[in-house]
Structure 1
Amino acid sequence: MRARTRSRKYSDPVTYYFYDAGGQPRKEIPLGTDYVLAVKKWAELETKKQVPAVTFNQLAARYIHDIINSGKTAPSTAKRYQAWLKPLQQFFGNPDAPLNKIHPSHISQYLQWRKDTPTTANNEISLFTIMWNYGRELGYTNQASPAQGVKKHTLKGRKDVYIEDHIYKFVYSHADETIRDLMDLAYITGQRPIDLVKIHSHHIHDGILHITQQKTGAKLRFHITGDLADIINKRNTGSYLFHNSQGAPLTRKALTERWVRLRHNLIARYPEMAKDLESFQFRDLRAKAGTDIYLSSDADTARAQLGHTSTAMTKQYIRKDKVLEPLKRK
């Protein structure tokens, strides 16, 4: 509120009050000379003043700057987020929707629009909620995510896939030495493929293997004993444990290509096992490890081995329930 005092020749000075409405040129609304009434009118005008709502593209730009491009997420995660964000911006950002105008019905419409890729659509809505909650932290909105309570696509996913021991042993028996060691390492540690191929001799000291997960940054330590010791003693030559045929460090992509090639060759030779082999992805060994630890111990032990922060996350990797014992008759 602005105040201007004007002198008078034959009486006391008078103070006039104004509401600054901004604009170019500046616009001022007179509020009178009574201070109490002027404050009341100023408050009424201030309440009526409309603050432009934050839009989806503004939220997306802030999230890209603060999170995706900031190095706070793993490169692979940032790449996925960028891919998932494109259709979200196409739907909610063209035209640019104010956050307070996005409702649950729009989330349902989005899922229907992306029905041809249901898994990706579900992931995109998960990212939408992550971004929305970040916007709440910034004060962009005080509303809960409109995706909350909206049913996503029902998927026939990989959460039911468990690699039985006989399938594991069958593939293992036909694999080369590098793939065998990687399979063993994936199973006995429960780590992701990307973290296995990046193990370097620098991660091995004082009888402990140190792994920092690329996806989450979780730091894990494994005593180098038993099968783990056998693999490390054989492969620890002062560099990366795993290399390609040219001697360069083995990449995650190269591992996948070798795995797919092995699987296809086995399907061609043993078509009767095609169903089991087709569903066997290398990453399933992480779920097998988590499941087997849970079956022999408990969910919290599996959580620690997989590097999760909560057992709720670990339960997504557990593919079997424990065998129950019947009660004895009294």
Structure 2
Amino acid sequence: MNSPGSDFPVGSPAYHRIDRILHELRAISANSDTAGRARIEAVERELSSMLTSAAPTFTPLVDWLEVYRRIIRERGLSLSTLQNREAILRRLETTMGRAFTGAIRPYDLAQFVRGYVERDNLHAARHARTTLIDIFSEAVSDGVIDHNPALSLRRIAAPVRRSRLTLDLWRAAYEHAAQYAPWMQRAMELALVAVQRRSDIAAIQFDHVRGEFLHIEQKKTGVRLRLHLGIRLDVLGLTIGDVLERCAAGTDGAHLIRHNDTRGKVKAGAPVHPQTLSNRFGEIMRKISPSPAGVAPSFHEQRSLGARLYQAQGRQPQSLLGHKRSATTEMYLDSRGTEWVEVR
């Protein structure tokens, strides 16, 4: 008769139950009377019940992750979110894919998250923690395990690395941007007045304007916005429509933010890549920002500045930003100590 440890981990509850049942069977083998047969039937029922309840617990993690992939594909998540989640799943398969799902301890998951922390990738560590909680929560829902081992993982406080962009610093950067191609100033105007992400700014085309509205489908979240061309940012004295008219001047092209002339492989009229927007803005910040390298405001910080400026003029920026949760908007409205609080 096989050892009970051949199929189940030594020391597990299932191991001890099987061990006890095997002792029962050995005792029964020497007794074939009516009472013995009754005992055999009772043991068979217990064994059947034990196997039915224990089998999911011993599902290899790699098998459960395949099920989890199907679950998240049905949630309608954005492509970038699915790609980020997939990177974590692959690393999880590499580190503990062969382990039984029910045998994974909070300590094992804490070590997994620590790997990100040790590489100074705290944002990824926070995302990994959230993903682990979701993975094992779904496993509980499917009856694979009884308890979620990821719930006890400590929260990771990722420090704020980027400085907030102030209006004065933005104006200085805007003047400096005149030394670059004209599209740089147009991109900055659009980023501040329309308060969209760099990927959406770079993707806007003239035919996205229909009637009195600019139509934007946000690449990160899939949120679909119709921004009225009359939306006005008072401190700049510009509406979205005004910025679009400025973008129309110069070289022909389908995109609002496009190259003005041909340089190397880049043709005049071709759309400016989102990373190019960040790179050029970063160059400007390194020249004019008092913040040290790596902390100076990024191109994306114009989205926060625009939101704060709209709030100051009395417009609630949540719908402009395309946020579903007000808590997300509040993060953008946090000036991180860069602005004075006026008290009268």
Considering the TM-score relative to the shorter chain, is it more than 0.5?
yes
> For 2:163 and 2:306, how far apart are their aligned partners in 1?
13
1:30-78 CA distance string (max 9 Å, x none): xx9xxxx99987754442223243332223223345546x894333333
> For 1:98 and 1:46, how far apart are their aligned partners in 2?
20
CA contact (8 A) 1:100 1:141 kept: yes
Q: Structure 2 vs 1, CA of residues 113 and 180 (structure 1 numbering), >3 Å: closer, same or farther?
A: same
Shift of 1:278: 4.9
One-letter amino acid of the structure 1 residue matched with residue 282 of structure 2:
V
The equivalent of 1:290 in structure 2 is 307
The equivalent of 1:128 in structure 2 is 132
CA contact (8 A) 2:174 2:185 kept: yes
> For 1:133 and 1:202, how far apart are their aligned partners in 2?
44
- Percent identity between matched residues is 21
Larger strand proportion of the pair: 1
Do residues 235 (structure 1) and 240 (structure 2) align? no
The 5 A counterparts of 1:248-327 are 248-264=270-286, 267=287, 273=290, 275=292, 278-297=295-314, 301-320=316-335, 323=341, 325=343
The equivalent of 1:196 in structure 2 is 201
The 5 A counterparts of 1:138-157 are 138-144=142-148, 146-157=149-160
One-letter amino acid of the structure 1 residue matched with residue 270 of structure 2:
A
One-letter amino acid of the structure 2 residue matched with residue 182 of structure 1:
A
Q: Structure 2 vs 1, CA of residues 67 and 48 (structure 1 numbering), >3 Å: closer, same or farther?
A: closer
One-letter amino acid of the structure 2 residue matched with residue 123 of structure 1:
H
One-letter amino acid of the structure 1 residue matched with residue 328 of structure 2:
M
> For 1:260 and 1:325, how far apart are their aligned partners in 2?
34
Shift of 1:257: 2.9
The equivalent of 1:169 in structure 2 is 171
Between the two structures, name the one with larger relative contact order (CA 8 Å, sep ≥ 6).
Answer: 2
The equivalent of 1:21 in structure 2 is none
- State the TM-score, normalizing by the size of structure 1: 0.72
Extract unaligned runs of 5+ from structure 1.
1-31
Shift of 1:261: 3.6
Do residues 212 (structure 1) and 217 (structure 2) align? yes
The 5 A counterparts of 1:43-62 are 44-49=46-51, 50-53=54-57, 54-62=59-67
> For 1:55 and 1:310, how far apart are their aligned partners in 2?
36
- State the TM-score, normalizing by the size of structure 2: 0.69
Number of aligned positions between the proteins: 281
Residue 215 of structure 2 aligns to a residue in which SS? strand
The 5 A counterparts of 1:15-94 are 44-49=46-51, 50-53=54-57, 54-67=59-72, 72-93=76-97
Residue 117 of structure 1 aligns to a residue in which SS? coil
Shift of 1:161: 2.9
> For 1:302 and 1:288, how far apart are their aligned partners in 2?
11
One-letter amino acid of the structure 2 residue matched with residue 232 of structure 1:
L
Q: Structure 2 vs 1, CA of residues 139 and 84 (structure 1 numbering), >3 Å: closer, same or farther?
A: same
Larger helix proportion of the pair: 2
CA contact (8 A) 2:285 2:296 kept: no
Extract unaligned runs of 5+ from structure 2.
1-33, 231-237, 262-266
The equivalent of 2:109 in structure 1 is 107
Give the RMSD, CA atoms, in angstroms.
3.4
> For 1:155 and 1:252, how far apart are their aligned partners in 2?
25
Q: Structure 2 vs 1, CA of residues 276 and 260 (structure 1 numbering), >3 Å: closer, same or farther?
A: closer
